[in-house]
Amino acid sequence: MSAIAQVIRGYGSPMVLDPDDAFIAAALARAAEQVRPQEGDKSFLEKRLAEAFATSLADGYFRPELVVRDKKLQGSHLPGWDPQPGTIDVAIITPATEPRIVFELNVDDVEWTLWDIYKMVAATELPTVEAAYLVVAGPPKLWTSQRDCVELFDLDYSATEQVDSVDWYSRFLFSEYRRAWAELLEGGTGRIQRVPEAIVISALGRWPLPGYPAYELRAIRVWPSHVKDGRLNFADEWPAPPPPPPEPQYDWSPRIIPTAALTLSDLPTADAPERAYHHFALSYNGYEEMGTTRRCGRIANQSIQRWRETRKLPPTIEEVRACLFFEQRRWHHYGYGFDEETLTYLRELVAELGNLLEARHAPG
């Protein structure tokens, strides 16, 4: 493995990026080595990261006049935003001063990245933009914390077969990170009017920062996903309520039941046949409601393992429904019915779901 391949993804991991992403990752790796505090700095300033990165891009990667910072660009009116957000932190531009490759940078304030992510997703829909990235510096304890948006950067940056990427459902993100979004709305004047219903977040790399040894740099690439091709519209600065679920096409088709509308009468009985559990499990789309396929799978896998060891079940209605949904999809993929242990587990999940529903409606 060449030295450049070792440094591109960071921490000596192999290069599996496509050539364009690898080119950007190499520039980021060089910036990570070179960024340093200056006299008078009392903290890690975002502008130091931007300066180092722009210098790296302009030093042997792109012509210096085509690397700009915080500059108003031609043809950069972002679709789905009105009013528009601020200028792009760092951009590689065309000779006509149009955005070509764009970057948002952040130090410490990972909660604010939800704004930056959707700003960059919108930028990918401009005709001149080839790629959009988010670059964030934070201490190791940040990357292992439960702070809003940290999970979006929880990727395998050293994957050896293919670049790790995750499709996230937008409605989930604005619900899961509701507090962070509310705080963001108190700041910038830009406002989202619509976003893709799903987005892709892909790992670019992670690097140590010798000039800031208490920090680590992580970079991701973002773009609209095609797992769901529609648009999520906003009303009063928040996602508009979802439309009512469609009626099933056939009498035997599963009907989506929103959790808020779920009642005890919707649950299969303890002695119901297996097909009733398949049918009920599909009344909830665990992939969308849990944000991603991967997240739903992790919740379900952890739950069944915990049940096998302790017989404990998930504590919330949403998690129980996600587990039911994922087990149905798992066994449908296998191509045959539940085994005896899984069916026992599903019956206990439904019984627990009944308990949770009763508790939800209990007085006080």
HSE (side-chain half, CA atoms, 13 Å) at 107: 15
pLDDT on residue 16: 74
- The sign of the dihedral angle between the CA atoms of 66, 215, 203, 133 is negative
pLDDT on residue 247: 75
pLDDT on residue 15: 59
Q: Which residues contact 88 (CB under 8 A, 6 or more apart)?
A: 70, 71, 73, 76, 99, 102, 103, 104, 119, 123
Q: Confidence band (pLDDT; 50, 70, 90) for 3? A: very low
Q: Which residues contact 265 (CB under 8 A, 6 or more apart)?
A: none
Contact 73, 91 (CB under 8 A): yes
Average pLDDT of the residues in 350-363: 92
Res. 350: pLDDT tops 70: yes
Q: Confidence band (pLDDT; 50, 70, 90) for 58? A: very high
Averaged pLDDT of the chain: 93
- CA 68 to CA 96: how far, in whole Å? 13
Which helix (H) or strand (E) segment holds residue 200: the answer is: strand 198-208
pLDDT in tens, 214-252: 999 999 999 999 998 899 999 999 999 998 877 776 656
Query: Residue 19: is the preceding peptide bond cis (ω within 30°)?
Result: no
Contact 32, 176 (CB under 8 A): no
DSSP assignment string, 114-135: HHHHHHHHHHTTSTT--EEEEE
What percent of the chain has pLDDT above 70? Answer: 94
Res. 7: pLDDT tops 60: no
